[in-house]
Amino acid sequence: MMPVKSYQIRGVSEPVTRVEFEGRIVDFWTPETPSTHLIIAHDGQNVFDRRTSTRHQTWRMAHSAIRVSRELEITPPTIIAIFHSRNAENPWGRILDLAPQDPFQNGVEPAEPNDEISTNDLNGNNYLDQITQVITPTIAAELKINLSKVNKAVIGSSMGGLASLYAIGKRPDFFNACLSLSPHWSAGNTPLVDALIDALPKPGKHRIWMSHGTRGLDSHYGSFQEHADQKMRKAGWREGHDFATKVYKKSGHNERSWAKYLDQPMKFWLDSSLRPASI
C-alpha cells in the first residue's frame, strides 16, 4: 500500500486517505471513534471526491453514513472506496472489473455484446480477490480493525450493483450485507438474474438490498427486478428483515439520484433492530 494523499470533504471533520495498490487507487475514510461496521464501495471515483467523479457528482457516502448513524445512535462505518481500472490505456477496465465473471463465462450470453472485449477477458474474480485478500485486510490492519469482528457490507450501482451481488454470492464468509443500487440486469437479462440470485447464500445470516429508479437506464430494469424479487421470496428471504427491494419513481441512473436515497440502504444495513446480519 503506497500513500498518495489525504484530503477533506466539506462537512466531514475526518480526512479521506488515498492510497495505491499496484496501480489501483483506493480512498478510505474512518470516523475518529473505532467502528464495528465497514462498507466497501465499487466505483470509488464517485464516493468522496468530486474531482474524480462522474459528472462531478459523488455519492456523499460519508455524509449519509454519519447522518444515519447519528439517528441510530451508533458509530459511523469505515468506508473503503475501490476505484475501477478504466483509463486511457484500459478503456474497458470498469466492465472487466465489475461484470460477474462466472455467469458470463459459464453460459450467460451478454445482452450487450462488445467487439472490443471477450468474456475470457473478464477480471471480476481477481478484482474480488484483491479486495478481500489484499486491500481490505491491509487497510484494516493500518486502522487496527479486527475484520473478524466487524459487520462488512459491499455496495455498488449499475455494473457495481451486479458486482456487489456477485461478491456476496462468492464470498458470503466475508460479506454480511449487499447493497445493490440499479443493478444493470440488461447486461445479461433474465439468465443473469437467475445466475446471481441462485448464487446468493441461504437466507438467515445476511442482508440484501436492491433498488432502481424509473428514468433513463433504470426504466428498463423493472421486469428483471420483479423476477429477482420473486426468486428471493421463494428462496425464503423475508422482505423488511433480511431483504429489501425498492422502486424510486422519477429517480434515474446517476450519482445524484443514488446519493438522494443512499440513507435508506445504509439504514437497512446498519439498523440492529432488524434481523441480525451476522456470519
- What's this model's pTM, rounded to 2 decimal places? 0.97
Cell 476505484 belongs to residue: 83
Residue 37: give the domain boundaries. Answer: 2-270
Please indicate, yes or no, if residue 275 is contained in any of the structural domains.
no
Whether 9 maps to a domain, the answer reads: yes
Predicted local distance difference test score (pLDDT) of residue 104:
98
Assigned domain for 159 exists: yes
Q: Is 42 helix (H, G, I), strand (E, B) or coil?
A: coil
Query: Exposed e or buried b for every residue in 59-78, given b needs 16+ CB within 10 A?
Result: bbbbbbbbbbbeeeebbbbb
Query: pLDDT tens digits, the chain, 279 residues: what are they?
Result: 999 999 999 999 999 999 999 999 999 999 999 999 999 999 999 999 999 998 899 999 999 999 999 999 999 999 999 999 999 889 999 999 999 999 999 999 999 889 899 999 999 999 999 999 999 999 999 999 999 999 999 999 999 999 999 999 999 999 999 999 999 999 999 999 999 999 999 999 999 999 999 999 999 999 999 999 999 999 999 999 999 999 999 999 999 999 999 999 999 999 998 865 666
pLDDT of residue 273: 84
The reported pLDDT for the residue numbered 65 is: 98
Amino acid 248: pLDDT: 98
pLDDT of residue 190: 98
Is residue 26 within 8 A of residue 135, CB to CB? The reply is: yes
CATH number at residue 27: 3.40.50.1820
Secondary structure element (H or E) that encloses residue 79, with its range = strand 78-82
Residue 278 lies in a domain: no
3-class state of residue 132 by DSSP: helix
Question: Could you give the CA distance from residue 2 to residue 17 in angstroms, rounded to a whole number?
Answer: 11
Could you please report the per-residue DSSP string of 44-76? GGGTS-TTTSGGG----HHHHHHHHHHHHTSPP
How far is Cα 13 from Cα 143, in angstroms, rounded to an integer? 17
Residue 234 located in a structural domain: yes
Nearest to 181, CA basis, from 35, 52, 51, 39: 39
In a domain, 246, yes or no: yes
State the pLDDT at residue 67.
98
**pLDDT for 113:** 85
Measure Cα distances from 78 to 35, 62, 154, 215, 234 in Å: 7, 9, 12, 31, 34
Residue 226 lies in a domain: yes
How many domains would you assign to the chain? 1
pLDDT of 276: 59
Sheet containing 78-82: order of strands: 2-7, 16-21, 24-29, 78-82, 37-41, 151-157, 177-181, 207-213, 243-248
